[in-house]
Amino acid sequence: MKAGAFVRAVEECGRRPRAAARVGSRTKWVMRAAVFGGVVGSLALAGGDGNSNGVVNTPFVVFGYNDLGMHCMNGDYSDLIILPPFNNLHAQVIDRRENDPHIVRTGVTIDYRIMGNTHSSDKSNFWQFWPPQFGPARPPNIGLTGNGLRGTMSSTGNGDFAATGIPVVPIDDLGRENPYPLANIVVKQNGQVMARTQAVVPVSTEMSCYLCHNNPGISTGMDILLKHDRLHGTNLVNERPVLCARCHADNALGLPGDPTLPNLSAAMHTAHAPRMGMIQLPEVCYACHPGVRTQCQRDVHFANGVTCTDCHGNMLAVGSPNRRPWLDEPRCGNCHTRQGFEFEEPGKLFRESRGHRGVQCMTCHNSPHAITPTVTEVDNVQATNIQGHAGVINTCTVCHSQTPSDPFPHRLTDD
Amino acid sequence: MSTKISNELRFAVIVGGATLIAGQAAAQSYQVTDLGDLGGPMSMAFAISPSGLPVGTAATPDGNLHAFFNDAGQVWELPPADDDQQSWAFGANDAGRIVAMSFDLGELHVHGQMWEAGVSTPMGNFAPRAMNAANVVVGYISRDVTDMGFMDRPAVWVNGIIGELPTLGGNSGYATAVNDLNQIIGFSDTAGDAQVRATLWLGGTARNLGTLGGTHSQAFGINDMGDIVGVADDAAGRPRAFRFQIDDAGVVVTRTDLGTLGSVDSYACAVNERGEIVGTSNDRAFIWFGGLMTDLNTRIPAGSGWRLSRAAAINNAGVIVGSGWHDGYPKAFMLTPMLVGDTNCDGAVNNFDIDPFVMALTDPVLYATSFPDCEILHADANGDGVVNNFDIDPFVVLLSGG
């Protein structure tokens, strides 16, 4: 799809137009010489070193992806805690040196680091309000699982590698908001770089509770707790900071909560569903899920006019007590039907499924809510770097030394 | 309090001094000002010009964040470039220029803007982070690097010309500040991207400024005296605010761990020519001077409703800007040093301050009514955060020019 088509698609579905996806070209920079007086002195010239063919030429090829396409976190933890800074970055490695490429499962180290975002504890007060339910408090800039903003991934046992619980926040080291920071991923074998890539580690604090909870003189969190106390006879204002999942079960955190109470997702969606008319937003989900600025739903579906509720249902459906939050999610096969194609593995979600000899679905398609080609440039970086154009990884020679003569098998098994 | 006692206090102030402690230094108190908004609920301040023009970003009614500056209480919007949705201002100087980043979330390139007299000049894909008096702007550019992907590179902008600065051998880096001697600091990757190190650029070359015994460091502020501040890991791996002092050749001659405010980590953001350093620790804004780190939340009027989280910049007049929480929202603040002893707020400490001082001691409510624009902490002559009889002697010192 051409860039112009993206712009049209976005405009046609009534959203603000975003910059078109960068397709098939890599910017060449030719920096001008700059000669200044004094101590600034002479400056290095930038190279004009673009990759001419856009297809990887390293022994391995690595694909990075986030598991959800967006992770939310509180902007302030002093009153209540919904979600901590916690991001999961995955990578799958393919050895492409022979005609029959295969997944690399052992014998490599995969390092990651978030570019320009190397610390969090000065940008979030999570470490000041670390709740005991999360275990002993970790040092600054270290997340719940012990990972930091740079480190080494571990094998998941599912054919890929992951670093979980990365405590990245959406403010870079220069102070600018960036909910789509890039992680640099480097694969080494015996100390030699075998492949590298870049993947988005999306995170946002844009849970805009203040749109409704905005009583002058008190914080948004206090307003929420006061209303909860009034409606449910609790005394949360005196128990701050309140971890919501302490009482309301939350699969995202793996906390069981009080079994007599609705889970957090059900409680939130059913309580707020009748009140959403108070907010005048084109996409009402962005009142709580990031967000008006972030617009985390940025993928090819969005570009083609698919809305949140088209896949997830309305708030009452999402808040159904029979739904298992984070586990009962939309399936590709609900909408996509194509002769000879198979989609998710039985009993698994897109983000867990594999096909084509164990290749993760996300390896080729990217993360949920960021299925390529996206309307955001940054989510297209990986595909563009790897195969020379944005979109699904559909260039066979990214992994195969030659293009196979057989039709591509979009199936769970491929023998 | 009775009139008799008030008169006794007044007498004590007028004739006092017998118990004065010569040279007693008072900790500075500040007037806190909300820098305003653009119709939305949040704002942040990142820089202040030498003459006191604060700049930052603030939410608009539609939820986007646009750059702003506050000129004597009037908030002015600096909108993003065409097709962008967000803008953040990071630098201002007394030549009347403001630099800002304009961008869209999720896009790769930032579009720099140089504002002057309400007119924006595009700076290309240069992302400005700071500017000095001579309009030398430092920041970074993002570019595609063969087999590496997109990388941010430190860069400088002078009169429309962008020059990329070298890294310490790694693939990315950022220039974060420049002083009026055109010394540039920031941070960059070392070879193999193994470490991030505070970096000084002199004569076009990058110098590794080292750490406090750990692995990583970043520099965020520099003054003309050779004080460089930022954050560096100590030997235990804890991020600590630092001050490195360099000599004329750019060699680090002293390294100081500035301590913390009760947590294990701290981050220094800026330093002025007086050597006052500001930053954040334990989610509280601090000022460091003379070996002492002070929580700025203890230096503003009690009951202000502010929680100051981060002090981002300080000018040579000691005016501080940053971000905190007020009325439940993230807000940009400005802290203006109070002229201690100037209890009638006429800009001078003299005998006309005696009666207001006594009033502040004896009847704070009446003082607040009589001097509504004057914080009572002007009477906090000993700088302990409260106004009481212990302020009498230091006040006399101030009156007598001690």
Judge whether B263 and A128 are in contact, CB under 8 Å: yes
Q: What pLDDT, on a 0 to 100 scale, did the predictor assign at position B8?
A: 62
Judge whether B69 and B53 are in contact, CB under 8 Å: yes
**Contact residues, chain A, for B86 at CB < 8 Å:** 177, 293
Let me know if residue A272 belongs to a domain: no
ipTM higher than threshold 0.85 = yes
Q: Which domains does chain B have, with CATH numbers?
A: 3-24+343-399 (no CATH), 31-337 (2.130.10.150)
Let me know if residue A321 belongs to a domain: no
Q: What pLDDT, on a 0 to 100 scale, did the predictor assign at position B204?
A: 87
Point out which residues pair with A171 in neighbouring strands. Answer: A177
3 state SS of B391: helix
Let me know if residue A260 belongs to a domain: no
| Span A349-405, pLDDT tens digits | 999 999 999 999 999 999 999 999 999 999 999 999 999 999 999 999 999 998 998
Judge whether B282 and B262 are in contact, CB under 8 Å: yes
Q: Say if A33 is an interface residue toward chain B (CB within 8 Å).
A: yes
Q: How many domains does chain A have?
A: 1
* Token duo for residue B360: 């502040």
**Contact residues, chain A, for B162 at CB < 8 Å:** 31-32, 34
Kindly report the length of chain B. Answer: 402
Let me know if residue A305 belongs to a domain: no
CA nearest neighbour of B395 among B384, B379, B376 = B379
A411 vs B81 pLDDT, higher one:
B81
pLDDT at A1 over 60: no
| Average pLDDT of the residues in A139-143 | 97
Identity at A111, one-letter amino acid code: D
pLDDT band at B213 (very low <50, low <70, confident <90, very high): very high
Let me know if residue A315 belongs to a domain: no
Work out the mean pLDDT of chain A and round it to a whole number: 87
Point out which residues pair with A122 in neighbouring strands. Answer: none
d(CA B330, CA A206) in angstroms, rounded, equals 13
From B293's Cα to the closest Cα of chain A, the distance in A is 16
For residue A373, whether the previous peptide bond is cis, meaning omega lies within 30 degrees of 0, is: yes
* Predicted TM-score of the model (pTM): 0.89
Report the residue from A57, A219, A295 with minimal CB separation from B328: A219
CA nearest neighbour of B187 among B157, B154, B162, B163 = B154
Q: Which helix (H) or strand (E) holds B69?
A: strand B65-71
Q: Which helix (H) or strand (E) holds A346?
A: none
Pick the range with the lowest mean pLDDT from A9-18, A227-236, B72-81, B97-106.
A9-18
d(CA A193, CA A108) in angstroms, rounded, equals 10
From A177's Cα to the closest Cα of chain B, the distance in A is 8
pLDDT band at A51 (very low <50, low <70, confident <90, very high): very low
* Token duo for residue A204: 């946002």
Q: What pLDDT, on a 0 to 100 scale, did the predictor assign at position B10?
A: 63
Let me know if residue A219 belongs to a domain: no
Q: What is the interface size between A and B, counted as CB pairs within 8 Å?
A: 216
Q: Which of residues 38-57 of B touch A (CB under 8 A)?
A: 41, 44, 46
Using alpha carbons only, what angle is made at residue A139 by residues A134 and A142, rounded to the nearest 5 degrees?
Answer: 70
**Contact residues, chain B, for A118 at CB < 8 Å:** 196, 216, 218
Q: What pLDDT, on a 0 to 100 scale, did the predictor assign at position A370?
A: 98
Question: Alpha-carbon torsion A126, A128, A131, A137, what sign?
Answer: positive
Q: What pLDDT, on a 0 to 100 scale, did the predictor assign at position B4?
A: 58
| Span A318-359, pLDDT tens digits | 999 999 999 999 999 999 998 889 999 999 999 999 999 999
Domain that holds residue A337: 3-206+332-398
Q: What pLDDT, on a 0 to 100 scale, did the predictor assign at position A302?
A: 96
Pick the range with the lowest mean pLDDT from A5-9, A304-308, A410-414.
A5-9
What is the DSSP code (8-state) at residue B170? E
Q: Which of residues 221-250 of A touch B (CB under 8 A)?
A: 221-223
From B373's Cα to the closest Cα of chain A, the distance in A is 21
pLDDT band at A48 (very low <50, low <70, confident <90, very high): very low
Let me know if residue A322 belongs to a domain: no
A313-321 contacts at long range (C-beta below 8 A, 24 or more positions apart): A314/A273, A315/A269, A315/A270, A315/A272, A315/A273, A315/A276, A316/A269, A316/A270, A316/A273, A318/A265, A318/A269, A319/A265, A319/A266, A319/A267, A319/A268, A319/A269, A319/A270, A319/A273, A320/A266, A321/A262, A321/A263, A321/A266
pLDDT at A284 over 70: yes
Token look-up 């804890």 returns B238
Task: Read off φ and ψ for residue A405, nearest 5 degrees.
Answer: -80, -20
pLDDT at A50 over 80: no
pLDDT band at A15 (very low <50, low <70, confident <90, very high): very low
pLDDT at B92 over 70: yes
From A40's Cα to the closest Cα of chain B, the distance in A is 5
Pick the range with the lowest mean pLDDT from A25-29, B203-207, B336-340.
A25-29
Cβ contacts of residue B296 below 8 Å, gap of 6+?
B30, B278, B284, B285, B286, B287, B308, B311, B320, B335
pLDDT at B124 over 60: yes
| Average pLDDT of the residues in A171-180 | 97
Nearest CA in chain B to A178: B105
Cβ contacts of residue B29 below 8 Å, gap of 6+?
B299, B300, B301, B337, B338, B340, B375, B377, B378, B380, B383, B385
Q: What pLDDT, on a 0 to 100 scale, did the predictor assign at position A17?
A: 35
Judge whether B185 and B235 are in contact, CB under 8 Å: no
Q: What pLDDT, on a 0 to 100 scale, did the predictor assign at position B23?
A: 34
Judge whether A119 and A140 are in contact, CB under 8 Å: yes
| Average pLDDT of the residues in B366-379 | 90
Q: Which of residues 118-147 of B touch A (CB under 8 A)?
A: 127, 129, 136, 139-141, 143-147
| Span B15-48, pLDDT tens digits | 554 343 333 334 789 999 999 999 998 999 999 9
- Substitution target from B135, B144, B153, B329 for chain A, most A beta carbons within 10 A: B144
Let me know if residue A273 belongs to a domain: no
Q: What pLDDT, on a 0 to 100 scale, did the predictor assign at position B13?
A: 60
